[in-house]
């Protein structure tokens, strides 16, 4: 038997395409999907919550480090999937039960466990799967199940079933909050196909809400960018003033800091929104919609309602980039101006230092001349004393004449000595 050297990730990569299988859904059935957003470091707490639920329902415990889980017990099916910033629970019960959307799949989940799930619920969907023949008319469904709201829907799977919703929140007494309601009228779908279609509908709702998380951020950023833009325009006009200097540079630096903070706090949210929106569009395409008379299909609704929100986010991102470019140009101009002014000041300082050095040189030469005169005066005076002393000792010498004649050689000797000292000090 030949032993092949396998890549260490071969099995993991091969199993990745099977990591999120769709669950078969028989008709009729009640399905509930919940999506909770959580902090990035809360994955372990989410796994702990799933383990508690599995124990309460008598299901097999999830494996350590799981990101996907499917459990079944007592007619209840639980599917769990962990993502980067959210976790999804899907609960399913076969049969239509009692009153539609009142006896839903969530009523089989302990209420104290629901209250303890970590994170914040963002998306919640109740889905009712019934046979087309057992369903009431569209008008009756709209009045009885959707509070009379206009319905959104289309044939799905090329018309093998029909999906209907109003994408509004309807109160759920058991959960104490609102849920979006879906009705799926099955015509020809088998359980596997129905499971895939329901999964796409749940993902459309989940990703739609996740994408819209960026809209409040975009609206807040628009106000922030308006203020930054006004202050930047004012600062740009101040660049024309000849007195603009360090204070204006400090203002531009402050604006750059505010803009960078805005970009850093919103960049992830905007990028995630674009990715989620692309997933919404992809899942709608996978529904393979067939338009129904009098109903707005999912794609058309999303293009009219969700797409403008995403365009708002794109607009804010574009404004951030343009403001950043304007700030960089203004800051560069201000820095160039300050550098030119500093160079001019340095040039003037050097010229002033040159003038001061010249004055000091002339003053030094003047002092040197005075020093030669003073030293000559005292030297001649000493020579005079020596001449007088020699005359007293009997040397035939005219002291006054000798002193007068000594002035020139003594002065020359003093001057030569001063010059020699200057050369020596300069060389040192």
The answer to whether position 286 is within a domain reads: yes
How many domains, in total, are found in the chain? 3
Domain match, 151 and 191 both = yes
Residues 222 and 326 in one domain: yes
> 372-383 pLDDT, tens per residue?
677 777 777 777
Do 315 and 261 have their domain in common?
yes
Instruction: Give 369-425 pLDDT, tens digit per residue.
Output: 667 677 777 777 777 777 777 777 777 777 677 777 777 787 777 777 777 777 776
Residue at which a domain ends, from 305, 328, 348: 348
pLDDT at residue 368 in the model: 65
Asked if 411 and 372 count as a contact pair (C-beta separation under 8 A), the reply is yes
Looking at the fold, whether 323 and 369 belong to one and the same domain comes out as: no
Q: What is the CA radius of gyration of the chain?
A: 46
404 and 341 in a common domain: no
Please state, rounded to an integer, the average pLDDT across all residues of the chain: 87
- Say whether both 242 and 335 belong to one domain: yes
Instruction: Report the pLDDT value the prediction gives residue 420, as an integer from 0 to 100.
Output: 75
Q: Tell which of 177, 202, 227 closes a domain.
A: 202
3-state DSSP assignment of residue 329? helix
Residues 32 and 131 in one domain: yes
Q: Does one domain contain both 338 and 376?
A: no
Is there a single domain that holds both residue 328 and residue 402? no
Q: Which of 313, 348, 383 is the last residue of a domain?
A: 348
Count helices and strands in the chain by DSSP H and E runs: 9, 8
Per the model's pLDDT, the better-predicted residue between 142 and 417 turns out to be 142
SS3 string of 389-419?
Answer: HHHHCCCCCCHHHHHHHHHHHHHHHHHHHHH
pLDDT above 60 (res 61):
yes
Q: Which residues, other chains included, contact 322 with Cβ-Cβ below 8 Å and sequence gap of 6+? A: none
Q: Provide the CB-side half-sphere exposure for 217 (13 A, CA).
A: 23
Q: Range of 419's domain? A: 360-427
């Amino acid at each position: 038997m030949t032993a092949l050297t396998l890549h260490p990730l071969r099995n993991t990569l091969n199993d990745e395409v099977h990591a999120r299988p769709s669950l078969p859904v028989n008709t009729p059935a009640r399905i509930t999907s919940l999506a909770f957003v959580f902090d990035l470091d809360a994955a372990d707490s989410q796994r702990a919550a799933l383990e508690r639920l599995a124990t309460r329902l008598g299901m097999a415990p999830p494996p350590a480090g799981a990101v996907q889980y499917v459990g079944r017990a007592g007619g209840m099916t639980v599917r769990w999937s962990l993502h980067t910033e959210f976790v999804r629970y899907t609960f399913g019960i076969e049969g239509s039960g009692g009153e539609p959307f009142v006896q839903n799949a969530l009523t089989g989940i302990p209420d104290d466990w629901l209250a303890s799930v970590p994170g914040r619920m963002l998306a919640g969907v109740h889905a009712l799967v019934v046979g087309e023949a057992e369903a009431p008319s569209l008008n009756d469904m709209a009045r009885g199940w959707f509070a009379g709201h206009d319905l959104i829907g289309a044939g799905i799977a090329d018309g093998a079933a029909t999906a209907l919703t109003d994408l509004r929140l309807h109160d759920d007494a058991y959960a104490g909050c609102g849920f979006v309601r879906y009705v799926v009228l099955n015509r020809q779908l088998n359980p596997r196909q129905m499971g895939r279609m329901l999964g796409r509908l749940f993902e459309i709702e989940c990703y739609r809400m996740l994408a819209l998380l960026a809209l409040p951020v975009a609206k807040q950023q628009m106000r922030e960018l308006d203020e930054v833009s006004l202050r930047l325009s004012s600062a740009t006009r101040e660049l024309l003033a000849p007195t603009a200097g360090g204070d204006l540079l400090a203002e531009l630096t402050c604006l750059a800091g505010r803009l960078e903070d805005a970009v850093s706090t919103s960049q992830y949210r905007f990028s995630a929104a674009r990715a989620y929106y692309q997933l919404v569009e992809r899942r709608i395409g996978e529904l393979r919609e067939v338009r129904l008379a009098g109903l707005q299909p999912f794609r058309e609704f999303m293009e009219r309602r969700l797409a403008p929100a995403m365009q708002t986010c794109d607009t804010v991102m574009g404004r951030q980039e343009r403001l950043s470019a304007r700030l960089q140009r203004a800051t560069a101009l201000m820095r160039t101006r300050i550098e030119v002014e500093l160079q001019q000041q340095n040039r003037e300082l050097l010229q002033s230092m040159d003038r001061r050095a010249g004055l000091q040189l002339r003053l030094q030469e003047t002092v040197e001349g005075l020093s030669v005169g003073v030293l000559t005066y005292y030297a001649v005076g000493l020579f005079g004393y020596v001449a007088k002393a020699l005359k007293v000792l009997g040397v035939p010498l005219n002291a006054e004449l000798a002193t007068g004649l000594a002035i020139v050689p003594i002065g020359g000797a003093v001057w030569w000595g001063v010059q020699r000292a200057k050369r020596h000090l300069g060389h040192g």
